[in-house]
């Protein structure tokens, strides 16, 4: 700072302060909308959560103003009240009022619960999707009414707009947590348990989901997308994907051969081919996804190649070995092949 | 007629009565609901019955806490003297203990109510 700056008077500095605080406010407010915000709800569950948040915010603000007002009052007025009335203030404002407010908040939260966490018995036929958290990606299985797996995919969940989809949430290794802020509250995924969650989107769109429970080195790189589409489109997609034989994208026989030759099929499955591994994400419709490696990279052939060559450089602790020893041309080949899988 | 309430209780143990009731109520409520939900078929009664049983238990627990609070209030001389009771005398010790027990009873009462509130709202067992 220069000497001139130091001698600057307050009036000169205030506008700058105001400008920067307005800029900050704009940044904060702009982060309140979009595809990953609990404050911009896209469905009924999320609306209730947002409503709860605003009730808490308003209540907290009222109490804060009251406390600050009392503080100012107390600092201005000395010895004006008896010790007895001070004791009464402590009894009422320090014990009775907080207990009553907590009681009301607890009841309100409990009352919201059944609507936020709608529950259907296992034998009731509803649309069910099973999602398993794995270090550091999401295994997604679409189930039929009887609970049988129709097909498997990963890192992207497609749901129909306007009706609740029931999720059966599991974990393969450690505790993860499934959270789509725009659609509802989070739910833990616990090894050995199946936790239910129902989410509904009222607007078509793509929503971001994240892992909300620290699960290892690449926890922060464990995201997914929820794609909410019109119910009819969803049905069409579901039956298309459920069909056993698939040939789309497999026109690239040479790419497939390279993929199989390098042993990728031991961990990854591509329906309709010899690749049937179940250790890593299913790649059958990999080209449909918007992102790569659980929301970590954009879905471009270049980034796919980069990921195959050295996954751990992009996601520390990743459960996929690096293939940097392969010829660059082979890696490019596989990336191009995978990008086109639809 | 001899009074049901002892004329004088001045043991350190009375200090813990209310918190112990709170702890037992907590464990019984959570344990009972967990067992009920795991063994519904075997027990063969509705969740609303469970609700009523635990509601009754809550009333009993609150009654015991109120009794503990009354005894503490009495020990504190029904609020005749103001704290702090910090003289090194037998009387001040008793008053201090009575007052502390009274406060703990208040805390336990509120806690038991909070533990019981979910009983009103729980829809049923989730499996
Ligand atoms: Cu995770």
Q: Smallest Cβ distance to A110: which of B110, B113, B118?
A: B118
pLDDT tens for residues A184-241? 889 999 999 988 888 889 989 999 999 999 999 999 999 999 999 999 999 888 888 8
Higher pLDDT, A82 or A183: A183
Contact A103 B123 (CB under 8 A): no
pLDDT of residue A85: 85
Higher pLDDT, A165 or B2: A165
pLDDT of residue A13: 46
Q: What's the CA-to-centroid distance between A304 and ligand 1, angstroms?
A: 22
A337 pLDDT band, cuts 50/70/90, is confident
pLDDT of residue A5: 39
pLDDT of residue A9: 41
Does the CB of B113 have a partner CB in chain A at under 8 Å?
yes
pLDDT tens for residues A223-235? 999 999 999 999 8
- With beta carbons less than 8 A apart as the criterion, state whether A173 and A93 touch: no
Quick one: how far is CA A26 from the chain centroid? 23
Q: Smallest Cβ distance to B121: which of A103, A111, A121?
A: A111
pLDDT tens for residues B16-42? 889 999 999 999 999 999 999 888 888
Query: Same CATH topology for A128-241 and A253-339?
Result: yes
Contact A110 B114 (CB under 8 A): no
Q: Is the ipTM of this complex over 0.85?
A: no
pLDDT of residue A246: 60
Mean of pLDDT values over B96-108: 90
pLDDT reading at A97 higher than 60: yes
- With beta carbons less than 8 A apart as the criterion, state whether A308 and A302 touch: no
A87 pLDDT band, cuts 50/70/90, is confident
pLDDT tens for residues B54-72? 999 999 999 999 998 888 8
Higher pLDDT, A99 or A42: A99
- A interface mutation test: which of B120, B121, B125 has the most A CBs within 10 A? B121
Question: Domain A253-339, what fold?
Answer: Immunoglobulin-like (2.60.40)
SS3 content of chain A, % helix, strand, coil (to 5): 45, 20, 40
Lowest mean pLDDT among A16-25, A30-39, A100-109, B58-67: A16-25
Higher pLDDT, B82 or A148: A148
Residues 6+ apart with CB under 8 A from B31: none
Q: Smallest Cβ distance to B110: which of A99, A111, A122?
A: A99
Contacting residues of A for B126, CB less than 8 Å apart? 119, 196
Tokens of residue A85, six digits: 């009335």
B80 pLDDT band, cuts 50/70/90, is confident
Contacting residues of A for B113, CB less than 8 Å apart? 103
Handedness of CA A28, A29, A31, A36 (dihedral sign): positive
β-pairing, A223-229 with A205-211? antiparallel
pLDDT of residue A7: 38
Mean of pLDDT values over A311-336: 86
Lowest mean pLDDT among A101-110, A132-141, A332-341: A332-341
pLDDT of residue B22: 96
pLDDT reading at A10 higher than 50: no
Contact B126 A196 (CB under 8 A): yes
φ/ψ of A17, rounded to 5, equals -60, -45
Mean of pLDDT values over B72-91: 79
Does the CB of B121 have a partner CB in chain A at under 8 Å?
yes
Question: Domain A128-241, what fold?
Answer: Immunoglobulin-like (2.60.40)
Tokens of residue A18, six digits: 């105001």
User: What are the residue boundaries of the structural domains of chain A, listed by start?
Assistant: 2-116, 128-241, 253-339
B78 pLDDT band, cuts 50/70/90, is confident
């Amino acid at each position: 700072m220069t000497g001139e700056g130091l001698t600057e008077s307050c009036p000169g500095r205030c506008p700058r302060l105001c400008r920067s605080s307005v800029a900050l406010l704009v940044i904060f407010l702009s982060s309140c909308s979009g595809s990953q915000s609990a404050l911009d709800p896209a469905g009924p569950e999320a609306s209730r959560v947002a409503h709860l948040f605003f009730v808490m915010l308003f209540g907290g603000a009222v109490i804060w103003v009251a406390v600050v007002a009392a503080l100012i009052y107390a600092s201005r007025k000395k010895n004006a009240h008896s010790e007895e009335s001070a004791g009464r203030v402590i009894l009422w404002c320090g014990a009775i009022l907080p207990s009553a407010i907590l009681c009301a908040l607890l009841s309100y939260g409990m009352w919201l619960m059944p609507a936020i966490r709608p529950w259907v018995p296992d034998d009731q036929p509803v649309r069910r999707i099973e999602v398993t958290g794995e270090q550091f990606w999401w295994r997604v299985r679409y189930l039929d009414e009887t609970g049988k797996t129709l097909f498997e995919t990963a890192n992207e969940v497609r749901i129909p707009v306007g009706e609740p989809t029931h999720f059966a949430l599991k974990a393969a290794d450690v505790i993860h947590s499934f959270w789509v802020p725009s659609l509802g509250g989070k739910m833990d995924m616990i090894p050995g348990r199946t936790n239910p969650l129902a989410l509904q989107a009222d607007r078509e769109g793509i929503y971001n989901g994240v892992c909300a429970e620290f699960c290892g080195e690449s926890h922060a790189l464990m995201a997914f997308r929820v794609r909410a589409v019109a119910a009819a489109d969803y049905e069409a997609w579901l039956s298309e994907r459920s069909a056993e034989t698939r040939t789309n994208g497999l026109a690239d026989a040479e790419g497939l051969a390279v993929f199989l030759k390098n042993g990728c099929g031991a961990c990854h499955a591509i329906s309709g081919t010899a690749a049937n591994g179940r250790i890593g994400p299913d790649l059958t419709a990999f080209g449909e996804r918007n992102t790569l490696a659980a929301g970590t990279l954009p879905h471009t052939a270049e980034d796919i190649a980069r990921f195959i060559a050295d996954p751990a450089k992009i996601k520390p602790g990743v459960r996929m070995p690096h293939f940097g020893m392969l010829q660059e041309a082979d890696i490019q080949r596989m990336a191009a092949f995978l990008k086109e899988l639809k | 007629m001899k009074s049901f309430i002892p004329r004088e209780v001045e043991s350190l143990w009375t200090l813990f009565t209310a918190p112990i009731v709170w702890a037992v109520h907590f464990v019984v409520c959570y344990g009972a609901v967990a067992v009920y939900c795991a063994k519904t078929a075997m027990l063969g009664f509705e969740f609303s019955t469970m609700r009523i049983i635990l509601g009754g238990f809550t009333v009993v627990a609150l009654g015991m806490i109120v009794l503990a609070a009354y005894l503490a209030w009495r020990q504190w001389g029904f609020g005749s003297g103001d704290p702090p009771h910090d003289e090194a005398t037998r009387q001040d010790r008793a008053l201090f203990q009575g007052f502390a027990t009274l406060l703990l009873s208040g805390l336990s009462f509120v806690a038991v109510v909070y533990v019981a509130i979910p009983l009103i709202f729980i829809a049923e067992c989730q499996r």
